[in-house]
Structure 1
Amino acid sequence: MAGFWGRRRREEEALAAQDADLARRAEQALVAADERIRTTSDELAFAQAELGDSLTADLKAALDAVRLHLREAFQLHQLNHDEIPDTVEELRTRNARIAQLCEWAESLLDEKTGTLAETIAKVRRAPEVTAQVRRDAEALGARIPQARDTIARLSSRYSETAMRRIASSGDEAEQLIAFATHGADVSERRRAAKQNEEANLALETATEAVRRAGAMLDAVEDFEIQALRAESTLANVVADSRGDIVAARNAPQTPEVTAAAAALEAALGALAPTGTPNDPFAELTRLRAANSALDDAIAKAQYRMQHPLPSVEQVQHALDDADRQLGVARGLIAGHRGWIGADARTRLAEAERLRVDVPGMISAEDTREQALSSARRVAQLASEALQLAQRDIDSSRPQQQPWGGDGWGGGGRRSGGGGDIVSGVLGGLVIGSILDGIFD
């Protein structure tokens, strides 16, 4: 008994220490949050003077919300120290709420002041960014004549469809550069007018315009390299395709192989004559597709030659065999339900599920192999269900005893023999006292 009271006293002392620590943390958090509000208010005033009201609106709204909720925290702290006695539970609940409110306030102010710091840094870097935009625009403008000369030179070698991706790149890049310069001017004027939000937007737009103009001019230079690579690859694919057409003559002559070979020959015949403008990208795409189609058709024909498609009769015979085995398994399990375990029942259920889908797959050639495989799987599962069911019956069948012999205990009660056999056969149809009455 002394040990019980000693343990309880230690638990009470530990809980009192926790409450005291919570009260101390609540007071410290309240002081820190109040001081944070005052500091952030000063930061907001400086930011409003530099950025204006629009870019500082989020921080102002956060400060207003924090002040509102911190009033609740001060009220709870006052209740802890008024003249009205409080229970331990009341003090604990208030201090936990104070700590929660102060933690939320600190977190919200951290988020908003961090965002505002990024905005301030962006505004302060604006002159540097504007100068960089002007330098980039000037450098890109100097590349435009060279880009136009490249486009003109390549237009004599490649077709209009190939050149479509870069034909207007020079003009579009020139327009983007002019827009970027104009955006930089607008940004400077808006910043001088203390309209920092509009100034930032204009500067971001100018920066994006310069980036896009540079990407367009780079694409003109890259186009020639990509086109030369496409031409080299096209020559290899042409040689490979001609070899595939020859190989197709020795492949099984199915309709698919014949059609695919004809399509590949047509794609080869549609190539632009040597020395005329062409589109190596489009030609390579078409030729690759036709080449792959012929490869697939030959592979399918060779597979079919090695694995002939089963006839409808073969599948139907397999399905008939599966149905016979299903019938035997189904009858055995239905007749001995009381003894059949989960394994046999599961095999039978899976076989019946697969059996439902087989008829719809027999007529179509694409699914006939699957139909034969499914029919064989049904037969296998039915056979397994039959074997498992027989195993369950053999393991559960009691030692046979004559009716009324030693298998019956005194007072007409069953101890084995015929009663248990009937119980296993009938399963849930005849149970408990009914069986007892029969054998009594």
Structure 2
Amino acid sequence: MIRRIDLRGASAPADYRAVVPRAELDVEAATHLIRPVVEAVRTRGVEAVLEYGAQFDGVVADDVVVPREALQTALDELDRTVRSALEESVRRLRATCEAELEHDVTTELATGAVVTHRKVPMGRVGLYVPGGLAPLVSSVVMNVVPAQVAGVGSIALASPPQKDHGGLPEPTIMAACALLGVDEVYAVGGAQAIAMFGYGAGPCRPVDLVTGPGNIYVAAAKRLLRGVVGIDSEAGTTEIAILADDTADPAYVAADLISQAEHDPAAASVLVTDSERLADEVVVELEKQVHETRHTERISTALGGQQSGIVLVDDVDQGVAVVDAYAAEHLEIHTRDAVAVAARVRNAGAIFVGPYAPVSLGDYCAGSNHVLPTAGCACHSSGLSVRAFLKSVHVVDYSRAALAEVAGHVGVLAEAEDLPAHGRAVAIRLDEQS
């Protein structure tokens, strides 16, 4: 069901990234496949968006706008227990976002020499919510709440059209939009949604930033459009890594590997352990639990794929090196002194410590965000937070006396760079008033 990679007793490779499980189709390869989609939306606008909706989603439509009445109807018809769970998820995430919200910082470097580091919210953002095999209503919360806390003035959201729902997005996704007061919603999925946000199409104006998770094609579109718009990270097909020793409960480990495999046949589930006994017991649990799930075929495909595996290591130290190289979207730590082990990890989108912090908690109600970098991008990118929706602007305010105090240094450095007009721009102000 799941392959093994044995790194025990081997001399450490120069880079563990070459041996950890990875999908055969990576984001770079996917960019070549979706480039024509992005280009078509850039040149033909909403006409191309609608064509790709028919091709990829099987929905023939003449408009991409979700009516506000449909959003309100979905909220009115939402199951009360689902609404309550969404409200609690919103409450917890809003609390952490408000706590993380950065404020302006003013530094007085000398009398009359003031620099303010100002935080400015993005003017307009495009939020993407997947709706394929699993309609991720929780991703509405994860995208919208930090944008609202940051103070973004214009929020647009896109989610794939559904044949079973009259070409509109999945009803719980629409309901969550209404619950959060988002009324600019588009029934558009995949790479064409990201291109629509980036270039504008039909009624959708271009945005400054695109955020949200999606499949590998969504991640590839975000890579292609980086520079046209800002992006949060390449939050593609989901993955979980678990670092575990012989103290771990094999039933818990198996359940958590399965939980992420449930998302998609291309999802990655990786166990890194120094205990061969645990590895054997987890395999037994996988065999048992997979057949008790609703999505057995999907999960089996993911667990049996090239992107999943059990990696055997000599000890926890080697295990930390391996998971750092893997740079997982989600990393669980099931070891002795899990808090200390977690503190040693540098590369992960989010870290879940101990037996009672499964990734599923983070997916919904931990108060953390589940929009996280995938495919090794956690070595350089962070998960979505309120900070993603803020820009930094330095505001420089100097008096004549403060300028005079530093003018000599400016002149020297300008000459050192052979840019004398730079120095003159300072000197002219002082010469005129001397």
Larger RCO (CA within 8 A; separation ≥ 6): 2
TM-score if structure 2 supplies the norm length? 0.18
Task: Report which of the two structures shows the higher radius of gyration computed on alpha carbons.
Answer: 1
Which is strand-richer, 1 or 2? Answer: 2
TM-score by length of 1: 0.18
More helix by share: 1
